[in-house]
Structure 1
Amino acid sequence: MSAILLILIAVVLFLVAYVTYGASLAKKWGIDESIKTPAHRLSDGLDYVPAKAPVLLGHHFSSIAGAGPIVGPISAAIFGWVPVFLWIIIGSIFFGGVHDMGSLFASVRNDGKSIGEVIHTSIGDKGKKLFAVFAWLTLLLVVAAFTNIVANTFVSVPAAASSSMMFILLAVLFGYFVYRRGVSLAVGSVIGVVSLFACIYLGTLFPVSLSREVWMVILLGYIFVASVTPVWILLQPRDYLNSFLLYAMLLGGIVGIVIMGPKLELAPVTHFTIDKATLFPILFVTVACGAISGFHSLVGSGTTSKQIDSEKDIRIIGYGSMLIEGVLAVIAIIAAGYIGADKLGDLLANGGPVNVFADGLGTFMTSFGLPFATAKSFTALAISAFALTSLDTATRLARFIFQEFFTEGEGVSEQGITNRYVSTGITVAFGGVLAFYGWQEIWPLFGSANQLLAALALLALAVWLKEMGKEYKEVIIPMVFMFAVTLAALVQLIFANFKKPVLLFFSIALLVLSLVLIQQSVAAFKGKGTVSENQK
C-alpha cells in the first residue's frame, strides 16, 4: 500500500468533514458569535484570558495531542495498519470531533466551567462529585503516563532535552514581550519561530544526558510550577510556539512521504488476538488521541473554554484540532508501517513508540536533504514539547477539578486544601507515585479510563443538549459504542492487574464510579430538565 495514497485519503476526508459535518453541528447546536464568552465576561488575568484563534488553536492542539496520537497508533500496529487507519478516520470525524466540539461548546455556555460542572447542571450534585473523582483519577494517569514518555524521550534523545529547556525559557520571554510589553503578535511570532529553531540547533550542540529517574523528578517539579502560573506567562505563548513545531513536523513528514514514496511493509491485518490482547476492545482504548479521547473534554472545558474569544472559534478549535490530530495519527501509523515488523520490534524495545516515530520521520525528512540526526532530534523535540504541554495542562485541570470538588457555591476557594498550591501539590505527588510504574504498565489503564471518560462526557453532553432543546442524536451512537468498549476493557484490566494492588484499585474504582455515573445520567436523561436562559 502506498503511504502517499493513505495520507491523501485522510486529508481529503478530514477537509470534507470539517466543511460539512462540523458546520452542520455548529448550526444544529446554535453556536452564536454575538454571545459574549466567559473569557470576556469573567476575565481575571490568570485563567480567564481571551486569546486570538491562532494562539488558542496552538494551545488546544498542543494540549490534546501530546504523545497520544503517536504512542496509541504505533502500539496498536500489532493488529495491522488497516484496523488502526479505519478507526482513526471514523473516530476523528464521527466520535472525537463531536466529543471535542460539544464539550467545548457546553463549557463556554456554562461560564467556562469543567465538564463536571456541566454534569452538575444537568444531572445534579451527586453526579458532579462522582465525575470529579473519576476525572481526577484519570488525570493522575495522564500525569503518570506522559511523565514517563517525556523522560524516556529525553534519555533516548538527549538533544531534545536541552532544546526543550531552552524552549521553555523562550516561551516565557515571548509571553512577557507580547502580553506585557506590547510587541505585536506578528513580530513576536517571527522572532519566536526563528529562536525556536535556534533552540533545536543548540540542543544538538549541547545535549543533556541524565537518568530516567532524575528526569522524572525534574519534570514533576516543572509541572507543579507551570500549572500554577498565569496562563499568559507560559501556557499560551509556549503552546502557540508549539503549534509551529507541529506544523513544521507535519509538513516535513508529509513532504518527506511524498518525495520518498514509502510502501507499508506491515501486514494490513494480523490476528484478532495477539499475546492475550484482543482487537476488541484493546484497539479502541489503545488508539485514543487520534480518534477520540476523554482527556480532550477536560482540556476543552478546563483551559480552552476560559480563553475562547468568540463562539465562532469553537468549530476550528474543537472540531478542527481533532481532525489535525487525526492527520498526525495517520503519519504515526505510516512511520510504524513502512519499516516492517522486525525493525519495528527493535525500535519499540529501545525507546518505545516515540523512538519509532522519530526514526520514521527522520528517515522521511532525509529525502529532501535534512541530516537524519537533526531530523530525528527535531521530531523528538516536537513530541516532547507536546507531551510537556499535556503534562502541565493535565495538572492544571486536576487542580481545577480538585478545587471545584471541595468548594461549595460560586467561585473557587483559595483557602486550605483548595489553595492552588496545595491542590496542585497533592495531584503531582499522587501522579508521581504512579509514574514510577512505567508507561507500559500505565498506558492500558490510562487508555481505558480515558475512553470511558469520553463516553461519560458524551453522555453528559447528550443530557445537556436535550435539556437545551438541541439536536443530540449525533452524540448517542459514539456514546454507546465507547461504553461497550471501555467497560469490557476495564473488566479485562481488573483480572490483568490482580497482583498489582495500586493498579487494581484504579481499575475497580474507575469501573464502579462509571457504573454509578451511567445510572445517574440515564435517570436524568429520561427525566425532564430545564436550563437557565444564559446557557441557551
Structure 2
Amino acid sequence: MNALWLVLLSIVCFIVAYVTYGAWLAKQWGIDPSRKTPAEEINDGIDYVPTKPAVLLGHHFASIAGAGPINGPVQAAIFGWVPVLLWIIIGSIFVGGVHDFGALFASVRHKGKSIGEVIHANMGKKGMMLFSIFAWLTLLLVVAAFTNIVASTFAAVPAAASSSLMFILLAVIFGWAVYRKGLSLKVGTIIGVILLFTCVWLGYVFPLALSVNTWIVILMVYIFVASTAPVWILLQPRDYLNSFLLYAMIAGAVLGIIIYRPGIQLKAFTGFTVNGQFLFPMLFVIVACGAISGFHSLVGSGTTSKQIANEKDAKTIGYGAMLIEGVLATVALVTAAYVSQGDLTELLKGGPVNVFSNGVGTFMSKFGIPFAIGKSFVALAVSAFALTSLDTATRLNRFIFQEFFENPEKEKQSVFTNMYVSTAITVIIGGYLAVGGYSKIWPIFGSANQLLAALALLAIAVWLKNTGKNYHMLVIPMVFMLVVTLSALLLLIRSNFIAGNYLLVIFPVLLFVLAVILAKEGYSIIFKKDDIGKASNSN
C-alpha cells in the first residue's frame, strides 16, 4: 500500500466535505453575512478586534493545532493504520468539524462569550458553573502540560528557544506596523515570512541554553503578559506568522510523500486489544485533536469569536481549520506507518514528535533539503505551536475565570473578575503543576479534553434547539463522544485505583460526576421538553 493514497484520500474527502457538508451546515444554522459580529459591535482594541479572515484563520489554526494532531495519530498507530485513518476522516468531517464550527458560531451569537456562557443562556446558571469548573480544570492541565513540553524542548534544543524568542519580537513589530502604521497585510506578510525564516536560521547561529526550570519561570512570565496584552500586538500576529511554519511543514511533507511514495509497513489492523489498551474507547481518546478536541471549542468561543469580522467566515475558520488539521493528522499517521515495527519502537523512545520529525525530515530530503535540517525545522515548528497553544490556553482560562465571577446585577464586581488577578491565579497554579512534571497528569488529559468536546456538542445542540434551528447533526456525535469518554474515564479510574494512584482517581471521578450531571441537564432539554420556550431572536 502506497502512503500517497492515504494522504490524497483524506485531502479529497476534506475538500468535498467543506464544499458540501460545510455549506449545508451554514445554511441549516442560518449564517448571516449582513449581521454585525461582536468584534464589530464591541471592538475594544484588546480582545474584540475585527480581523481579516486570512489572519484569523492563521491565528485559529495555530492555536488549535499544537502537538495534538501529531502525538495522537502516532500513538494510536498501535491499533493499525485503517482504524486510525477512518476515525481521522470521519471524525474530522462529522464530529470535530461540526463541533468547531458550531462552537464558534454559537459564541458569535452570544456576544463572543465562551461555551460556558452559552450554557448559562440556554441551560441556566447551574449548568454554566459546572461547565466552567470543568473547563477551567481541563485548561489547567493544558497549561501545565504544554509549559513542561515547551520548557523541555527549549532546554533540549537551544536553537528552538532563541528562534521562538525572536518570533515574539517579530510578531510585536508586525502587529504594530500593520495595525498602527497602516502597512498593507500583503506587504507585511511577505516581509514577515522572510524574517520568520531568518529567525529560524539565527536560532541555529545563536542558541540559548538554559535549564528546564529556568524556562518554566520565563514561560510563566511570558504567558502572563501574552494573555493580558491586546490581541493585535502579540497573540494574533505571532500566531498568523507562525501558521506559515505549519503550512510550509505540511506542504513539504505532502510534496515529499508525492516524490518519495513510501510504502506502508504498519499492519492495517493489529487487534481490538493491544498492549493492554482497548480499541474502544481508547482509539477515539488517543487520536484526540486529529479528529475532535474540546480545546478547540474553547479557542473558537474564547478568542476567535471575538475577532471574526463577518459570520460567513465562521465556516472557513471553524470548519475549514479542523479539516486542515485532519490533513496534518494523516501525515502524522504516515510517519508512523511507513517504517517497520522495530524502527517505530526505537523512534518512539524519543516520543511521538521524534517519529513525526524523523518522517517529515525524510520526506523533505527527497526534494533536496538535508535530512538533519529538515528534521530540526519540523521539531522547531512543533515547539512553536506548542507555545501558541500554551498562551492561548492561558488567555482562555482567564476568560472563563472572569465570567464565572461576573455578576451583571452588581455595579462593583469581584476582584476575581480583574484580568490580572484571574491570569495570575491560572499562571501560578499551572506553573506549580508544570514544575512537578506533566507525566503524572497527562494520562487524564486526553479523556478530559474529549469529554469537554462532548459537553460542548451538548451545549451547541441545546442552543440550536432553543432557537428553532436544526440540531440533529450534533446528537449522534454528542452521544458517541459521551459514551467514549465516560468509558475511558471508568477504565482510568479502575487502573489508577489498582495501581494505588489515589490522587489520580479523584480527578477523573470529579470529571465523571460533572459530565453526568451536565448530560442529564442537557438530556431533559433536548429529548424531553418539546415545548421549551424559544430563546430571544437575537440569538
Say whether residues 1:461 and 2:465 are aligned partners.
no
Residues 148 and 337 (structure 1), Cα distance of their counterparts in 2 relative to 1, 3 Å cut: farther
Say whether residues 1:60 and 2:60 are aligned partners.
yes
Residues 452 and 481 (structure 1), Cα distance of their counterparts in 2 relative to 1, 3 Å cut: same
CA distance in 2, matches of 1:412, 1:56: 34
How far is the alpha carbon of 1:410 from its aligned partner?
7.4
The answer to whether the 8 A contact 1:204-1:377 is kept is no
How far is the alpha carbon of 1:206 from its aligned partner?
2.0
Which residue is equivalent to 2:478?
A: 479
Say whether residues 1:310 and 2:310 are aligned partners.
yes
How far is the alpha carbon of 1:430 from its aligned partner?
1.9
Matches within 5 A, 1:100-249: 100-249=100-249
The worse-fitting range, judged by mean Cα deviation, of 239-248 and 20-29 is 239-248
The answer to whether the 8 A contact 1:284-1:485 is kept is yes
Which residue is equivalent to 2:505?
A: 504
SS, match of residue 497 in structure 1: helix
CA distance in 1, matches of 2:216, 2:348: 20
Which residue is equivalent to 2:252?
A: 252
Which residue is equivalent to 1:28?
A: 28
Task: Show CA shifts across 1:45-73 (max 9, x none).
Answer: 00000000000000110111111000111
How far is the alpha carbon of 1:288 from its aligned partner?
1.1
CA distance in 2, matches of 1:170, 1:133: 36
Which residue is equivalent to 2:390?
A: 391
Which residue is equivalent to 1:491?
A: 490
CA distance in 2, matches of 1:272, 1:208: 46
Number of positions where the alignment pairs a residue of Structure 1 with one of Structure 2:
534
CA distance in 1, matches of 2:340, 2:401: 45
Which residue is equivalent to 1:427?
A: 426
Task: Show CA shifts across 1:177-210 (max 9, x none).
Answer: 1111111111111110000010111112222333
CA distance in 1, matches of 2:89, 2:341: 23
The answer to whether the 8 A contact 1:43-1:50 is kept is yes
Report the TM-score, using the length of structure 1 for normalisation: 0.97
CA distance in 1, matches of 2:22, 2:463: 19
Identical residues among aligned pairs (%):
65
CA distance in 2, matches of 1:209, 1:67: 23
User: What is the identity, as a one-letter code, of the residue corresponding to 1:433?
Assistant: Y
SS, match of residue 366 in structure 2: helix
Residues 330 and 411 (structure 1), Cα distance of their counterparts in 2 relative to 1, 3 Å cut: farther
CA distance in 1, matches of 2:457, 2:186: 38
The worse-fitting range, judged by mean Cα deviation, of 524-533 and 273-282 is 524-533
Which residue is equivalent to 1:519?
A: 520
User: What is the identity, as a one-letter code, of the residue corresponding to 1:144?
Assistant: A
Say whether residues 1:296 and 2:300 are aligned partners.
no
Residues 297 and 410 (structure 1), Cα distance of their counterparts in 2 relative to 1, 3 Å cut: farther
SS, match of residue 110 in structure 1: coil
Residues 177 and 79 (structure 1), Cα distance of their counterparts in 2 relative to 1, 3 Å cut: same
Task: Show CA shifts across 1:255-308 (max 9, x none).
Answer: 011111111222221122223211111111111111011111111111000000
CA distance in 1, matches of 2:456, 2:504: 23
The answer to whether the 8 A contact 2:405-2:414 is kept is no
How far is the alpha carbon of 1:79 from its aligned partner?
1.3
The worse-fitting range, judged by mean Cα deviation, of 128-137 and 149-158 is 149-158
How far is the alpha carbon of 1:327 from its aligned partner?
0.2
CA distance in 2, matches of 1:373, 1:154: 18
CA distance in 2, matches of 1:76, 1:482: 17
SS, match of residue 289 in structure 1: helix
SS, match of residue 58 in structure 2: helix
CA distance in 1, matches of 2:279, 2:411: 43
How far is the alpha carbon of 1:247 from its aligned partner?
1.0
User: What is the identity, as a one-letter code, of the residue corresponding to 1:521?
Assistant: G
Which residue is equivalent to 2:345?
A: 345
User: What is the identity, as a one-letter code, of the residue corresponding to 2:358?
Assistant: D
Say whether residues 1:47 and 2:47 are aligned partners.
yes
The worse-fitting range, judged by mean Cα deviation, of 27-36 and 413-422 is 413-422
Task: Show CA shifts across 1:78-122 (max 9, x none).
Answer: 111111111100000000011010111111011000011110111
How far is the alpha carbon of 1:411 from its aligned partner?
10
CA distance in 2, matches of 1:412, 1:134: 28
Residues 130 and 160 (structure 1), Cα distance of their counterparts in 2 relative to 1, 3 Å cut: same
The answer to whether the 8 A contact 2:73-2:286 is kept is yes
Residues 86 and 438 (structure 1), Cα distance of their counterparts in 2 relative to 1, 3 Å cut: farther
CA distance in 2, matches of 1:355, 1:219: 23
CA distance in 2, matches of 1:524, 1:18: 30
User: What is the identity, as a one-letter code, of the residue corresponding to 1:271?
Assistant: G
User: What is the identity, as a one-letter code, of the residue corresponding to 1:224?
Assistant: F
The worse-fitting range, judged by mean Cα deviation, of 506-515 and 127-136 is 506-515
The answer to whether the 8 A contact 1:122-1:524 is kept is no
Which residue is equivalent to 1:447?
A: 446
Report the TM-score, using the length of structure 2 for normalisation: 0.96
CA distance in 1, matches of 2:346, 2:214: 25
The answer to whether the 8 A contact 1:40-1:309 is kept is yes
SS, match of residue 409 in structure 1: coil
The answer to whether the 8 A contact 2:467-2:536 is kept is no
How far is the alpha carbon of 1:405 from its aligned partner?
0.6
SS, match of residue 23 in structure 2: helix
User: What is the identity, as a one-letter code, of the residue corresponding to 2:468?
Assistant: G
CA distance in 1, matches of 2:170, 2:314: 28
CA distance in 2, matches of 1:411, 1:423: 19
How far is the alpha carbon of 1:344 from its aligned partner?
1.9
How far is the alpha carbon of 1:389 from its aligned partner?
1.0
How far is the alpha carbon of 1:29 from its aligned partner?
0.6
SS, match of residue 368 in structure 1: coil
The answer to whether the 8 A contact 1:153-1:355 is kept is no
Matches within 5 A, 1:258-297: 258-297=258-297
The answer to whether the 8 A contact 1:286-1:444 is kept is no
CA distance in 2, matches of 1:11, 1:275: 31
Residues 156 and 334 (structure 1), Cα distance of their counterparts in 2 relative to 1, 3 Å cut: farther
The answer to whether the 8 A contact 2:290-2:325 is kept is yes
CA distance in 2, matches of 1:51, 1:124: 32
Task: Show CA shifts across 1:300-324 (max 9, x none).
Answer: 1110000000001000000000000
Say whether residues 1:531 and 2:535 are aligned partners.
yes
How far is the alpha carbon of 1:243 from its aligned partner?
1.6
User: What is the identity, as a one-letter code, of the residue corresponding to 2:227?
Assistant: S
Which residue is equivalent to 2:2?
A: 2
